[in-house]
Amino acid sequence: MNIAQYIDHTILNADATQSDIRKVCEEAKEYGFYSVCVNSSHVDFVAKQLKGSNVKIAVVVGFPLGAASIETKGFETKDAVSKGANEIDMVINIGALKSRNENFVQKDIAAVVKAAGKDVIVKVIIETALLNDEEKILACKIAKAAGAHYVKTSTGFSTGGATVEDIKLMRETVGPNIGVKASGGIRDFQKAKAMIDAGATRLGASASVNIAKGIESEDNGY
181 is catalytic: yes
108 is catalytic: no
Catalytic: which of 8, 56, 73, 89? 89
Which one, of 179, 183, 134, 176, lies nearest residue 157 by Cα?
A: 183
44-45-51-54 Cα dihedral, nearest 10 degrees: -90
Cα separation, 68 vs 91, in Å, equals 9
Catalytic: which of 166, 181, 188, 191? 181
Find all residues with CB under 8 Å of 38, minimum gap 6, and list them.
10, 11, 12, 16, 21, 24, 46, 57, 58, 59, 60
89 is catalytic: yes
Catalytic: which of 123, 136, 152, 191? 152
Cα separation, 18 vs 130, in Å, equals 32
- Cβ 212 vs Cβ 9: under 8 Å: no
Active site members:
89, 152, 181
